[in-house]
Amino acid sequence: MEKRKPFFELFFSPEKLEQLVVIGINIALIYILLMALVFLERRLFKRFIERREKNSADKTNFIFFRNVVIYVTYAIGFLSMFNQIPGMQQLSKTLLAGAGILAAAVGFGSQQAISNIVSGIFMVIFKPFRVGDQIELGGENKGTVVDISLRHTTIRHSDNRIIVVPNNVLNNQAIVNTSANVVSKKE
């Protein structure tokens, strides 16, 4: 009489199971390292920004740079996890070969998002306002700038409402900076 294999062994040989465990451990270690790195980045930037704040220096560039560094860290971490899966390595090469077509399609599809990012970069470079400034948009939205990220700017209204405005809207709209008369230290 032929000995039947257990159901589990039909799909997973001990070698495959060992390989899956190693992949799972690698992905878990990369995830833990990613979260620790993001935690450290946030903490370091927070301390640095607080020190700059005590010197009454502009913290806008540092907040923007912090956001960029954290987004890049997440992207590298998730790509590293994705690359640990054996079948995905070949898929990555295939996607890379068709990257030109994919880039064109994504470019047309994400035109608004790219516009927000470019507008955010221009706002940090040319500084029509800074984090902590009082601004007024179109006469109805006014408040204190709380954050400038790659995609949007966050404003706290005087009645404590949070207004999130896409950067390309700010770039195409008249902004009244009521804090512009305040003299601040040079950076």
Average pLDDT, integer, range 31-53: 88
Residue 184: pLDDT above 50?
Answer: no
Q: Looking at the 3D structure of the chain, how many domains does it have?
A: 2
Q: Is there a single domain that holds both residue 24 and residue 86? A: yes
Most confident listed range (34-38, 75-79, 87-91, 118-122)? 34-38
Domain closes at, from 97, 130, 147: 97
pLDDT of residue 185: 42
| pLDDT higher than 50, residue 104 | yes
Same domain, 125 and 69: no
Phi and psi angles of residue 20, each rounded to the nearest 5 degrees, phi first:
-65, -40
Question: Can you tell me the distance from the alpha carbon of 109 to that of 114, in angstroms, rounded to the nearest whole number?
Answer: 10
Contacts of 64 (CB under 8 A, 6+ apart): 120, 124, 148, 149, 150
Domain residues for the domain of 82 are 10-97
* Angular region, 162: left φ>0, alpha ψ -120 to 50, beta rest: beta
Would you state the pLDDT for residue 32?
A: 96
Q: Is residue 169 part of a domain?
A: yes
pLDDT digits (tens, 9 = 90+) for 47-63: 887 877 776 666 777 77
Facing residues of 137 across strands?
141, 175
Please give the model's pTM, rounded to 2 decimal places. 0.51
The mean pLDDT value of the chain amounts to: 79
pLDDT at 170 over 70: yes
pLDDT of residue 187: 40
Length of the chain: 187
Does any domain span residue 154? Answer: yes
pLDDT of amino acid 111? 75
Question: Average of pLDDT values for 108-126?
Answer: 77
pLDDT above 50 for 25: yes
What's the rounded Cα separation, in Å, for the pair 145 and 176?
A: 12
- Is residue 109, in this structure, part of any structural domain at all? no
The pLDDT value recorded for residue 6 is: 62
Q: What is the CATH classification number for the domain harbouring 158?
A: 2.30.30.60
Contact by Cβ (8 Å): 30, 84: yes
Q: What is the pLDDT of residue 3?
A: 65
Mean pLDDT, range 152-168, rounded to an integer: 89
User: Which of the four pLDDT bands, split at 50, 70 and 90, describes residue 181?
Assistant: low
